[in-house]
Amino acid sequence: MSRMGDPGTNELLSLEDLQATTGFRTGRKHILSILVENKPGVLTRVAGLFARRGFNIDTLVVGPTDDPALSRITLTLDGAMHPIDQVTKQLHKLVNVIKIRDLEPEDTIARELAIFKISVDGTQRAEVMQFVDIFDGRIIDVTKRSIVVELAADADRVKAFEKLVRPFGLIEMAQTGEIALARGRGET
Amino acid sequence: MRAVDAIMHCLKAEGVDVVFGYPGGANLPTYDALYDAGIKHILVRHEAGGGHAAEGYAKASGKVGVCFATSGPGATNIITPLTDAMMDSVPVVFFTGQVRTDLLGTDGFQEADTFGMTMPSVKHSFMIQHPSEIPRAVHEAFHIARTGRPGPVLVDMPTDLTRVEIDYEPVTDVRLPGYQPTTDGNQKQIRLAAKALANARRPVLYAGGGVVNSGASQPLRDLAASERFPVTCTLMGLGAFPAPHEQWLGMLGMHGTRAANYAMDEADLIVACGARFDDRITGKLSEFAPRAKFIHIDIDPAEISKNVPAHIPIVGDAHNILARLVEEYAKLDTDPARLTDWWERIERWRAQHPLRYDDSADSEIKPQRLIEALYEATGGDAIVCSDVGQHQMWAAQYFHFTEPRKWINSGGLGTMGFGLPAALGAQMACPDQLVVCMSGDGSIQMNIQELATIRENDLPVKIVLMNNGFLGMVRQWQELFWERRYSAVDTGQWPDFLKLAEAYGIAGHRLTEKVTLVADLRAILTAEGPAFVDVRVTKEENTYPMIAPGGAARDMVG
C-alpha cells in the first residue's frame, strides 16, 4: 500500500502493483434500502458517495413510500471493493437520509420488473407462451411477428427467463432494478 | 417584507455580527437588504478571500462564519474555502446568488450549477425553490454548520425568489429528522475506556482539531493530569494542550517530534480524541502503532475505524466524553508507578532527539530561527494564522501554543492562500489581540489582494513573510525524493514585497539580520496598524524531522 499511498516519491509504479491494490470485486451482493426525505438533490448526494468511494452501483430504484414526505431508494451493489460500512456511515451523515438498511439477501423479498420484446413466428409462439406461463409472466402486446412479455420476479428468475427466450430472437428488453423489503412483521 | 430582508432578520437572530463577501448581479437583492440591516460587511477582494476570512473568523471565535458570493464565478471561487472548511470541520454558512428561476439550466449569464458542483464538499446545502422556505433554510443551515461535527453549509438562492414579498414569521425550531448527531458518549464505553487507561503501561493521549472545536481543552488537560499521561496533538489540535508542559511530547505526524512519533509507535494504548488518523499522521498504515489498542472518541461515527480499527469507540462530543472520562478514571484505584518506565523511555527520546537545526554562522536568518524570534517577540501571545508549506510546519514546531484557537491554519486541504484572509477574519473576531499572518513567498501571492481589505478596514494584521525564493516544500521533496531535479519551484525575485505593501498602503519592512531579528520584530509588532515584514531566510533549508511519505514512524529522518 505504501507505494500506492503517495504521489510524492519517484518510485516507478508497475501496472500490476496498481491492479493488485485496486479494482478487485469481492464480498457479497448488497441490497441497500435507503429511506430519504423527498427533497431535491437527494439522489445525487447518495449516488455521489458511492462514486467517490469507487463503488459501482448495479441497480437503483427510487419511488414514493406510504408517506409523501419520504422516498425509498433501493440500490444494489454486486460485490464491493471495500467494506461497505464506510459508505453506509457516510450515507447516515447526509442530512436528508432518514434510515439505511443493508438487507441480508436471504431475509429479503426482492422483485424487479422486466419487459421483453421477442421475435416469434407462428410455430415458436406457442413455445414462448409456455415459458411465459411457467415463469408467471404476462403477455402485454402481440403483433404478427412479435410479442411483449412482462415479468415481475427476483433478479435470478428474470435472468433465467431472458436466457431462455434469447434464442428465439430477443429484440429488446427493459428492466428495473430490484425493489426490496425485509421479510417478516418488522419495518425495513 | 422581502425574502432578503427576512434573511437579515435571521442572521441577526443567529447572532451574526459580521459577513465577508463580494456582491454581483445575482445577489444584488441580498446586498440591498444588507445596506441598512445593521450587520457589518467586509468587502473582500476575491470570493476565495471571503470564504477563508469567514473560516478564520469561525476558527478564532468558535462562532459560525458567514460568506456571501454571487452566482457563477462568485460561486466557483468559493469552492476552495468550502472544501477547506469541510476538511477541517469549520462552521461557515455560504450564501450564493443564483440566476433567476426561468434561466436555470439554460447557461444563463453567470450561471453555474453551484448546488451540483459543491455537493461533495458541503456538510449540507439548500437550493431554494420557494421564497417562503428561505427563513427556515437559513436557520437550519446555521444549526447544521455549528452542531455535530461542524462544517460548511451552502444556501443557493435564485435571485428572483429573494425579491418576493413573504409573510415572515421568526423560525424557532429546526425540522431535520435525518440529522441527529450523538453528543452524549455511551457511559459503558466511557467506563471501559477508564479501565483500559488504568491498566495501560504505555498510554498516549492523541488530540486533534475536534478537541479545539468542542472546547474540550480543559477536560483534556484534566485527563492528562489524572495520571501524568503523555500528550501529543495533531497539527489541527495545537494549543488544545499547552506546548511548554512537562507532559507535552510535541506534535506528531510527518513533521512531528521523534518523542511523539516514537511514543505512538511503542504505545500500548492510544486515546484518540477528535482526531481522524490522517495519512500525514499514520504514515505507513500497516506499521502504525503496531502494539497499541485504540480508544477513539469522535463526534462523527464515520471516522471510527475508518483508517485504524477502534477497540473502544466512543461517539459523541469530546468535552462531554473527556469530562466524564476524568470522573470515571478518578473512581478507579490506579498505580501511578506503572508509568515510570514509560516516562524514562520518553525522557530518553526527548533528550536524544530534541527539535533542532544548525544555526547559520553568519547573519543569515534560518527559517526556524525566524519562528523562534517571532515566539520571543510576541511572548507567545498572538493568534498565528499560517499559510501552507514549510513555514507552516516550522511554525507548528517552534511556536509553542498554550491555548486553543491561537493557531489557525489549513490542515486537511493544505490550501495555499488561506493565511492572509484567515488572518483578517481572525482579527475581526478578536480585535484586541495580536494577529500574525505567517506566510511564504508562494502562499502569500495566492490571496495577496486581501491586503487591500486589511488596509481599507484598518485591521492591524502583521504579515510575516518567510521569503526563501522557492516553493520550499515542493523543492524539499524534489531534493529528497526526485533527485534534486528542481522543476518549477524557483519563484525568482518578484514581486518586490516592500513596494507591493506600499502600494496597498501598508508599512513594509525587510529583515535580513539575525542578531537584531527579535528586537526588529518586536518594534514592528507593537506599532499600530498593519505591517508587512519581508524576512529573507536561507534559500534551501529542509523541514525536519520527517517521516518519509509512505514510511513508518520508526524510520524518521533528519
Cβ–Cβ under 8 Å, residues A43 and A92:
no
Cβ–Cβ under 8 Å, residues A74 and A33:
yes
Please, what is the average pLDDT of chain A? Answer: 87
The pLDDT of residue A1 is 33
The pLDDT of residue B389 is 98
Cβ–Cβ under 8 Å, residues A168 and A119:
yes
- From B180, which residue of chain A is nearest by alpha-carbon distance? A95
Residue B364 per-residue DSSP state: P
- Any idea which residue has 450564501 for its cell? B95
Say whether residue A41 is in contact with chain B using an 8 A CB cutoff: yes
Q: Is B492 helix (H, G, I), strand (E, B) or coil?
A: coil
Residue B237 per-residue DSSP state: G
The pLDDT of residue A146 is 94
**How many Å lie between the alpha carbon of B265 and the closest alpha carbon of chain A?**
17
Q: Is the peptide bond before A83 cis (omega within 30 degrees of 0)?
A: no
pLDDT at A80 over 80: no
The pLDDT of residue B320 is 97
Hey, are the CB atoms on A1 and B284 less than 8 Å from each other?
Answer: yes
Query: CA-based angle B258:B259:B261, to the nearest 5?
Result: 60
Q: Which is nearest to B56 in space by CA: B24, B28, B18? A: B18
**How many Å lie between the alpha carbon of B449 and the closest alpha carbon of chain A?**
31
**How many Å lie between the alpha carbon of A48 and the closest alpha carbon of chain B?**
7
Q: How would residue A20 be classed by pLDDT, with cut points 50, 70 and 90?
A: low
Cβ–Cβ under 8 Å, residues B239 and B305:
no
Ranges in chain B, pLDDT < 50? none
d(CA B172, CA B170): 6
Say whether residue A1 is in contact with chain B using an 8 A CB cutoff: yes
Say whether residue A37 is in contact with chain B using an 8 A CB cutoff: yes
- B155 pairs with which residues across the strands? B95, B126
- Any idea which residue has 428488453 for its cell? A173
d(CA A77, CA B322): 39
The side-by-side arrangement of strands in the sheet containing A70-80 is: A59-64, A70-80, A26-37, A97-103
Q: What is the mean pLDDT of residues A114-127?
A: 91
Q: How would residue A14 be classed by pLDDT, with cut points 50, 70 and 90?
A: confident
Q: What angle do helix axes B3-13 and B134-146 make, rounded to 10 degrees? A: 30
- From A37, which residue of chain B is nearest by alpha-carbon distance? B178
Hey, are the CB atoms on A95 and B178 less than 8 Å from each other?
Answer: yes
The pLDDT of residue A19 is 64
d(CA A6, CA B285): 12
Say whether residue A44 is in contact with chain B using an 8 A CB cutoff: yes
The pLDDT of residue A188 is 85
Q: Which is nearest to B136 in space by CA: B99, B176, B109, B103? A: B176
Contact residues, chain A, for B474 at CB < 8 Å: none
pLDDT at A92 over 70: yes
Query: Dihedral (C-alpha) B532, B537, B540, B543: value to the nearest 10 degrees?
Result: -80
C-alpha cell at B299: 463526534
d(CA B368, CA B354): 14
pTM: 0.94
Secondary structure (DSSP) of B162-222 = HTSB-----------TT-----SPPHHHHHHHHHHHHH-SSEEEEE-HHHHHTT-HHHHHH
Q: Is A5 helix (H, G, I), strand (E, B) or coil?
A: helix
Q: Is B19 helix (H, G, I), strand (E, B) or coil?
A: strand
pLDDT in tens, A44-69: 999 999 888 878 899 999 999 999 99
| Helices and strands (DSSP H and E) totals, chain B | 22, 18
Contact residues, chain A, for B475 at CB < 8 Å: none
The pLDDT of residue A9 is 66
